[in-house]
Chain A
Amino acid sequence: MADYNMHLLVCGGTGCKASQSELIKMNLKNQLTELGLEEDIQVIHTGCFGFCEKGPIVKIQPDNTFYVSVTPEDTKEIIEEHIVKGRKVERLLYKDPSTKTSIIESKNMDFYKKQVRIALRNCGFINPDNIEEYVANDGYEALAKCLGEMTPEETTKLIIDSGLRGRGGGGFPTGLKWDITRKVEGDQKYVVCNADEGDPGAFMDRSILEGDPHTVIEAMAICGYCIGADKGLVYIRAEYPLAIERLKTAIGQAQEYGLLGEGILGTDFNFDIELRYGAGAFVCGEETALIHSMEGLRGEPTFKPPFPSVSGYLGKPTNVNNVETFANIPPIINKGAEWFGSIGTENSKGTKVFALAGKINNVGLIEVPMGTTLREVVYDIGGGIKDGKEFKAVQTGGPSGGCLTKDFLDTPIEYDSLIAAGSMMGSGGMIVMDEDDCMVAIAKFYLEFTLDESCGKCTPCRIGNKRLYEILDKITEGKGEPEDLDRLRALSDVVKDTSLCGLGQSSPNPILSTIENFFGEYESHVTIQKCPAGQCKSLLQYIIEDEKCTGCTLCFRHCPVGAISGEKRSPHFIDQSLCIKCGVCYQKCKFDAIKIA
């Protein structure tokens, strides 16, 4: 990296790529070449910066200028002004929403201030396709340290001491898992990386693989060294083409540098990694289902024990960890268990990455120390609720988790406190909802997901969830009755208690937590047939209030089905038989003349 005076870092994460960051990078390169500066200034694409709301992002080093919402047309100005004349392009800088002042460096933005980046330490800083940049940032130092100075026992003990727990959802102590697999006798063992991120609304694993693939490779090799495995497998979603490509490139480079393969770093330790592709099945996030899928079978879970540590892939002892868990390993080895233990809380050490999304101002990928409160995440980092609306709930844990109300805003984020609050950590999806979101509809949304993804092997999950979904559907259609709420509760308990794997055991959580926290909303659906949030279409009507309507024709012009009629400058009328309740008129009306009844 030392040969260049300046680096232009362009975000190459999925979100920014979708907003033409590739073209931005190309434009920057071409324009630098035209000016004959290509030898002095390097343009690289990095992994996700996290601030997806303001993408695409271009960061300039060494002065750390952070440009947001850059378009391909803006590149010329960046080059001519910033690079050539040394003047910052004011209009592309981030504006603090409260003070309206421009902020140049990302570390001064509220979005980044409270974040501590361990798993995401390299995302947005290095070129993921260049192993040398990883090495320059302490890359493969942890592996060298383990192989050179530490025994597998010592390394495992270090991970146990650090208190790291699985980041995929379960929260099982990682070191302990390694220790169990290490102690099992076996001629062949496997290290598996679970990159089958299935929680809808969580994309941290993909961002790590896209932004820093080598950290996963290094950690898997360390794990292999600890448990005595010479083979690693990454089970990755086929829907993640960019992550697959970057991982493949990284594996190739590691092999070339002798960091994978035989006799790594001159020792007698051998380790290599292969990819296995998922094909879109949420249940494959469950270890045993994942292993069956890697064997080419239907991804159905089996009863534990035996645990994969004893009998996993092809019946051999197998250690399965998720991507984010692995990304924590190299820093722990480099900086020590004590350092890691100093971050976070008593029972939840370190940090957690969350995909913050939904009705929030700053959508993005964040990493915060355990123990940070939901309020800090939603208001300080997330910048509050979109369009000045009222906060209603935050959903954590995806389809297995629950919705937390504003009463829980001061709950510290840790494994145990979230469970106590009726939700769970899960893999890190965090969806913020506002006053317009109906909690019954949200529960139904998650149940529909579970229904789709249930493998069908055990009856409670296959049929129980179907019945739960039907009851919820009935309620949102306005046909519910008060007894339905008892039925939902009773059946939820049965499904939880009797399902075979984690999917079914947790699938009723979204229902139970919403009934618990938003009972009034359910009640209103089943007693007076009203949806307080105004989301359940069967329970609402859009009506134009004559007194307020000015006859501006805006609603008439935007109605996609021609259900609105009326003369210019006189009140309009909605034909209920034609109305599809899309709500466009409601959004468009400038006079507040359309009400939901």
Chain B
Amino acid sequence: MPKIKLAEKTIEVIREICAKFNNEEGELINVLHGVQDQLGYLPAEVQEVIANELNMSVAKVYGVVTFYSFFSMIPQGEHPISICMGTACYVRGSEQVLTEFKRQLKIEVGQTTADGRFSINCLRCVGACGLAPVVLVGDRVYGRVSPQQVNKIISEYQEGCPAEETKTV
């Protein structure tokens, strides 16, 4: 992975988050949540700053980051696509939906398209099993998705975001 240089401002943001948790080692997971919330992902350079602030080894920070699936070391696409692979969605065909997303976007799970627009991830149960299979694009939930609808969903985002639904009667 190419080394990136963090801007002073970014380092300041990380430091502030660490300070909010009193630079305590035991608060590492909360710190990581806070930082990922701000920066979108946790590359090695960011982990170094955190390790420094909390006075612990980078290896320990890395160990925790890679342990939990919620933390990511690569940037997400502009429109992160998450396919639910919980059992309810699986038996209702989420695997075929996933295959179709991978085929159309030409990326694998955990990757981002070259133009940075889309990334694909799997998640385990969003708790909307009544709508299985479920796909999330950003925060938007698509229910009862079939492989045939994949193209339509992607094209909704090809030209910017879909019109926000503000329809009132």
Contact = CB atoms under 8 A, between A and B. Distances in A.
Q: Do A and B come from one complex?
A: yes
Interface of A: 13-15, 17-20, 23, 26-27, 30-31, 52-53, 55, 72-73, 75-76, 198-203, 206-207, 238-240, 276-282, 293, 295-299, 355, 357-359, 363-364, 395, 398, 429, 431, 433, 437, 442, 445-446, 449, 452, 455, 558, 560, 580, 582-584
A265 B30 CA distance: 32
Contacts of A15: 127-131
Contacts, number: 152
A359 B87 contact: no
B131 A18 contact: yes
A399 to B, nearest CB: 9
A17 B126 CA distance: 12
Nearest to B87: A201
B18 interface: no
Contacts of B100: 560, 582
Contacts of B30: 276-277, 296
B131 A357 contact: no
B123 A239 contact: yes
Nearest to B167: A72
Nearest to A79: B169
Nearest to A52: B130
10 contacts: A14-B127, A19-B143, A55-B130, A277-B29, A281-B69, A296-B25, A296-B30, A359-B91, A437-B91, A558-B148
B28 A296 contact: yes
A279 B32 contact: yes
A53 B32 CA distance: 37
Please tell me the size bucket of the interface on B.
Answer: 35 or more
B157 interface: no
Contact of B148 (A277, A355, A437, A560): A560
Contacts of B167: 23, 72-73
Interface stretch (B4-12, B60-68, B73-81, B112-120): B60-68
A363 B130 contact: yes
B59 to A, nearest CB: 11
Interface in B6-48: 24-30, 32-33
B68 A299 contact: yes
A200 B125 contact: yes
Given A18-B143, A53-B130, 7 more contacts: A27-B168, A52-B129, A239-B70, A296-B24, A431-B88, A445-B90, A580-B99
A357 B132 CA distance: 9
B135 to A, nearest CB: 11
A52 B128 contact: yes
Contact of A203 (B99, B103, B129): B129
A280 B123 CA distance: 9
A31 B147 contact: no
B123 A363 contact: no
A296 B87 contact: no
B122 to A, nearest CB: 9
Nearest to A363: B130
B88 A358 contact: yes
Interface string B138-167: 000101000110010000000000000101
A279 B132 contact: no
Nearest to B147: A582
Interface string B84-116: 011110111000100110010000000000000
A423 to B, nearest CB: 14
A298 B99 contact: no
Given A279-B71, A296-B27, A580-B103, A445 B87 contact: yes
A299 B96 contact: no
Contacts of A359: 91-92
Contacts of B24: 296
Given A198-B124, A280-B68, A395 B87 contact: yes
Contacts of A297: 28, 64
A18 B88 contact: no
A26 B64 CA distance: 42
A363 B67 contact: no
- Residue of B28, B69, B143 with most partner-chain A CB within 10 A: B69
B169 A293 contact: no
B169 A73 contact: yes
Contacts of B32: 279
A457 to B, nearest CB: 11
Contacts of A13: 127
A23 B86 contact: no
Contact of B147 (A298, A355, A560): A560
A359 B99 CA distance: 21
Contact of B86 (A19, A201, A299): A201
A357 B70 contact: no
A363 B130 CA distance: 5
Nearest to B31: A296
Ranked nearest first, the 7 interchain pairs of A and B with the lowest CB-CB distance are A52-B130, A203-B127, A357-B88, A279-B68, A18-B141, A200-B86, A201-B87
A449 B126 CA distance: 16
Contacts of A299: 67-68
A584 B147 contact: yes
A296 B130 CA distance: 35
B29 A279 contact: yes
Given A72-B168, A437-B91, A206 B148 contact: no
Contact of B68 (A73, A202, A240, A281): A281
B79 to A, nearest CB: 17
B87 A27 contact: no
A595 to B, nearest CB: 19
Contacts of B29: 276-277, 279, 293, 296
A20 B26 CA distance: 39
A345 B23 CA distance: 51
A593 B130 CA distance: 31
A587 to B, nearest CB: 9
B96 A582 contact: yes
Contact of B96 (A19, A53, A201, A583): A583
B108 to A, nearest CB: 15
Contact of A200 (B87, B96, B128, B131): B87
